[in-house]
């Protein structure tokens, strides 16, 4: 079996590893249910096929059993979204769980307790993985956000439970972040932002091999400016990455990639939401001022460059968009991508802060794909293999 739709599911116990690692507030209320909603199609499909669903996830980074990291607050939302009563186990292995599994009806869903309550989960201990595996007949990994972790419930379990297949969410993430990026409809533009070049080197290098246009924004641009001999005032600069920035610029040129750096920036006199600010050319950042967003001319140039594209991937904000004064660059990218999406352009939002920006602007629904993974999407865009994916029997990505 290479695919969930090929698996014989009727009456089968199916262990579904999802990433239900959602943010909770102090009152244990879910503040963003995106990951729960993203896990629903696979679970609903299994219910419709008469499978017995054993649902597993981690939440946060608990050290041992910690009540505030219990999955219990997720039960009402899951029940509501699935339209059936979800049963919650107090553990994820052991005799009580086995009893609950034994009494699970076809089309029923049992939510196991946080797998990270056992240190064996992150250590990927085979004995623990074996215990998880013993609960079920089939393994489905739909936890894209955790696919970069070689943990017992994402990787180890596949050694003891066959078939091991991808869920619909995991498959969709791969289709977009690997498939659409590897054989894109062209022109293909990549927009990469974020505060540090060092955390985006892998992504930039990998995308340089594939894209036609590369737009750079965020705090990382000041390292590029400085590498080109410009003064950057007190902007963030990674001194030890100046050479690398020069190499990346040369590489783009050699590959014929049109790499655009912002031509103007919004500078501030301090790193604060109420800082004094002004727009200056990239070549004229005054001493004592720091760049916190791309400027209006850059937004215009970026929008023009994106106009003819057929595929766009975006990872990383253009500025400090948590501060309203410095959010315009990031928000304009979100708006432009929404507009392009409406014209049939494939728009992929590659996780983390860019997803938050797209949601803030209220255009999440119109994008072709919004990744549910932070670290996982970054690793995938860097061209790395994810342990949770390669452990599966077979994953087909149309490229």
Q: Specify binding-site residues.
A: 19-21, 35, 58-61, 116, 149, 200, 322, 351-354
Q: Which stretch binds ligand 3PG (CB under 6 A): 22-30, 72-80, 141-149, 225-233?
A: 141-149
Q: Which of 218, 295, 316, 352 is catalytic?
A: 352
- The least CB distance from residue 19 to ligand 3PG, in Å, is 5
With CB under 6 A, what is the number of residues at the site for ligand 3PG?
A: 8
Q: Is 42 in the site for ligand 3PG (CB under 6 A)?
A: no
- The least CB distance from residue 380 to ligand 3PG, in Å, is 12
CA distances from 125 to 80, 92, 95, 131, 151 (A): 34, 15, 19, 10, 8
Q: Is 121 in the site for ligand 3PG (CB under 6 A)?
A: no
Instruction: Figure out which of the listed residues 146, 158, 347, 371 binds ligand 3PG, where binding follows CB under 6 A.
Output: 146
Give catalytic status of residue 251 as yes or no: no
Q: Is 19 in the site for ligand 3PG (CB under 6 A)?
A: yes
Q: Is 149 in the site for ligand 3PG (CB under 6 A)?
A: yes
- The least CB distance from residue 374 to ligand 3PG, in Å, is 4
Q: Is 61 in the site for ligand 3PG (CB under 6 A)?
A: yes
Instruction: Figure out which of the listed residues 7, 15, 21, 282 binds ligand 3PG, where binding follows CB under 6 A.
Output: 21
- Interface of this chain with ligand 3PG, residues 355 to 394, rule: CB under 6 A: 374-375
Residues in contact with ligand 3PG by CB under 6 A are 19, 21, 61, 145-146, 149, 374-375
């Amino acid at each position: 079996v290479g695919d969930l739709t090929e698996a014989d599911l009727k009456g089968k116990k199916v262990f579904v590893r999802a990433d239900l690692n959602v943010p909770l507030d102090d009152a244990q209320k879910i503040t963003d249910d995106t990951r729960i909603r993203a896990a629903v199609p696979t679970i609903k499909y299994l219910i419709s096929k008469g499978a017995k669903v054993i649902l597993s996830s981690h939440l946060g980074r608990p050290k041992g059993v910690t009540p505030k990291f219990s999955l219990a607050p997720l039960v009402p939302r899951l029940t509501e979204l699935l339209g059936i009563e979800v049963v919650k186990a107090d553990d994820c292995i052991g005799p009580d769980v086995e009893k609950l599994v034994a009494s699970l009806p076809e089309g029923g869903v049992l939510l196991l307790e946080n797998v990270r309550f056992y240190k064996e989960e992150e250590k990927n201990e085979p004995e623990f993985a074996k215990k998880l595996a013993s609960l079920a007949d089939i393994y489905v990994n739909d936890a894209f956000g955790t696919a970069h972790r070689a943990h017992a419930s994402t990787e180890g379990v596949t050694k003891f439970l066959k078939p091991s297949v991808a869920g619909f969410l995991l498959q969709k993430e791969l289709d977009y972040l690997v498939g659409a990026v590897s054989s894109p409809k062209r022109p293909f533009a990549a927009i990469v932002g974020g505060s540090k070049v060092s955390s985006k080197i892998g992504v930039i290098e990998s995308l340089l091999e594939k894209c036609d246009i590369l737009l750079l924004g965020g705090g990382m641009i000041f390292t590029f400016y400085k590498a080109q001999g410009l003064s950057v005032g007190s902007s963030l600069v990674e001194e030890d990455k100046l050479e690398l920035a020069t190499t990346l610029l040369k590489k783009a040129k050699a590959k014929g990639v049109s790499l655009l750096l912002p031509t103007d920036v919004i500078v501030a006199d301090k790193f604060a939401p109420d800082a004094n600010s002004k727009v200056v050319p990239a070549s004229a950042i005054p001493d004592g001022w720091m760049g916190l967003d791309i400027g209006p001319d850059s937004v215009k140039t970026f929008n023009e460059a994106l106009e003819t594209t057929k595929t766009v991937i975006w990872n990383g904000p253009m500025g400090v968009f948590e501060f309203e004064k410095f959010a315009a660059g990031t928000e304009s990218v979100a708006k432009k991508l929404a507009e392009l999406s409406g014209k049939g352009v494939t728009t992929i939002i590659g996780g983390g802060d860019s997803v938050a920006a797209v949601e803030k602007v209220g255009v999440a629904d119109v994008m072709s794909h919004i990744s549910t993974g932070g670290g996982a999407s970054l690793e995938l865009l860097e061209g790395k293999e994810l342990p949770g994916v390669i452990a599966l029997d077979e994953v087909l990505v149309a490229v």
